[in-house]
Structure 1
Amino acid sequence: MIDRRIASYQNDLVAKHCEEVQNIYREMRGWRHDYHNHIQTMKAYRKLGEDGKLDEYLTALDADLTSVDTLIKSGNVKVDAILNSKLSLAKERQINVSAKAIVPSELSMSEIDLCVILGNLLDNAIEAALRLEDEAARQIRVYIDIKRDQLYISITNTCGGNVRKQNGHYLSAKEGGSHGFGLMRVDRLIDKYAGYIKSRDEDGAFTTEVMLPI
């Protein structure tokens, strides 16, 4: 029974990874398509001698690119990879995302373990936010910084329905509502590094805070 559940969980992870990679490829194709359109437009303005309109177009394009540039640049390549992958998936699913992250390029803990923690917490946040039928109400906020020689992680998401607890543990946002292999993995990794984790829910939002030695 346990083996089947673990196998099912691993299959879910593979499926999620494939979906995230496909989402990144879709965005890359979109960027390529837009790039060619912009080049053609600018060439047309130049050919017509419309330098004023070309300048206006470049100014508008620069402002547009600035507004959509939500790529996380925390200072740690592996953390950037997992954050950009998960948050890109969240945006694809019509979840409003706000994120700020500062992470040292070198850590005393395993970067893979940190990515497992972040990945599982973000998976749960995405699943919880998707329960809201109102897309405008779907939000995820990620804040990561260094506080008192510790890596501080805060992930907040809006959520639909009641948040459930059992034996002092919050239940997973997945159907079935168990604590979940992902959240169990997070708990074990926090214990491994003698870290701290606390979750709370209030006013339709769920927040998890983590402190880890760096």
Structure 2
Amino acid sequence: MKTLRQWKHDYHHHTQAMHMLLENEDYSELRKYLAQLNSDFKNLTSMVSTGHPTLDAILSSKILIAKAHGISVEQTVFLPEKLSIPQTDLCVIIGNLLDNAIEACNKPNLQQPPYLNITIKIHKGMLYFKVINSSNGVYLFDKKNLLSTKNQPEHGYGFKNINDIVENYGGFFNYEPQSNSFAATIMIPLQSEEEEA
């Protein structure tokens, strides 16, 4: 957010510099200047602003990580000002969902370019999360429970932690592993004042 404020503050300096380059017909330098601004602005537009600083931080950082790995990201995030569910629990859900999605997008033998689609909103009186990502169709299960494919002893805790939190709030989760994509849907009931937000 600090970087974004600085960029806005310096915007008029950028326009003045570009105007001078245009007046001097220095088109080559102007193209370079615009290319650099465009690159900087792409990083800034990856930032999410929901009004919940902790959520904004984790969402923005995961999106930037995904883009740094060459993953195409689409996001739709709308949240009310007040949420009864602690941000710490929401961060566990979002962080694990996006970590798993980014990991899947970095696997070999994808049948399509890596992508990540994130939706977080209020839907039918519930807090609704949906994350869809490209996949190579390889999944690990343990007693019908989906596990992470990380080659680490603690693998599978991400999904377990998500499931425990969702069930604690009386919500539900659904995972759809397909041959070329993976979709995770989570819905958590909200209190009446949140439904109206």
Shorter-chain TM band: 0.7 to 0.9
- Equivalent residues of 1:99, 1:141 under 8 A apart: yes
Deviations 1:86-128 (A, max 9, x none): 1111111111111110112221111110111110111111111
- Equivalent residues of 1:158, 1:205 under 8 A apart: yes
Please state how far the C-alpha of 1:149 moved relative to its aligned partner.
1.3
Distance (Å, rounded) in 2 between the aligned partners of 1:198 and 1:126: 19
Alpha-carbon RMSD: 3.8
Match for residue 81 of structure 1?
Answer: 57
Please state how far the C-alpha of 1:166 moved relative to its aligned partner.
2.6
* Consecutive aligned runs of 4 or more in structure 1 exceeding 3 Å deviation: 41-45, 47-53, 63-67, 132-136, 176-179
Deviations 1:108-153 (A, max 9, x none): 1111101111101111111111003569711111011111111100
Distance (Å, rounded) in 1 between the aligned partners of 2:39 and 2:20: 21
SS in 1 for 2:62: helix
Could you state the TM-score of these two structures normalised by the residue count of structure 2? Answer: 0.74
Q: Percent identity?
A: 28
2:173 corresponds to 1:191? no
2:108 corresponds to 1:132? yes
SS in 2 for 1:173: coil
2:82 corresponds to 1:106? yes
Match for residue 194 of structure 2?
Answer: none
Please state how far the C-alpha of 1:70 moved relative to its aligned partner.
2.7
Please state how far the C-alpha of 1:160 moved relative to its aligned partner.
2.0
Please state how far the C-alpha of 1:78 moved relative to its aligned partner.
2.1
Deviations 1:135-188 (A, max 9, x none): 971111101111111110000111124223231211213125976122211111
Structure 1: stretches of 5+ with no match in the other structure? 1-27
Please state how far the C-alpha of 1:210 moved relative to its aligned partner.
0.3
- Equivalent residues of 1:96, 1:136 under 8 A apart: no
2:25 corresponds to 1:46? no
1:135-146 aligned at under 5 Å gives the runs 137-146=113-122
Distance (Å, rounded) in 2 between the aligned partners of 1:98 and 1:48: 34
2:158 corresponds to 1:182? yes
Q: How many pairs align?
A: 179
SS in 2 for 1:112: helix
- Equivalent residues of 2:173, 2:184 under 8 A apart: yes
- Equivalent residues of 2:110, 2:136 under 8 A apart: no
**AA of the residue aligned to 1:78:** T
Please state how far the C-alpha of 1:45 moved relative to its aligned partner.
5.5
From the superposition, tell whether residues 191 and 64 of structure 1 become closer, same or farther in structure 2 (CA, over 3 Å). same
**AA of the residue aligned to 1:50:** N
Distance (Å, rounded) in 2 between the aligned partners of 1:150 and 1:209: 12
Distance (Å, rounded) in 1 between the aligned partners of 2:99 and 2:164: 17
Deviations 1:25-63 (A, max 9, x none): xxx7xx99xx8xx85x9548627843896xx87xx67x9
Structure 2: stretches of 5+ with no match in the other structure? 191-197
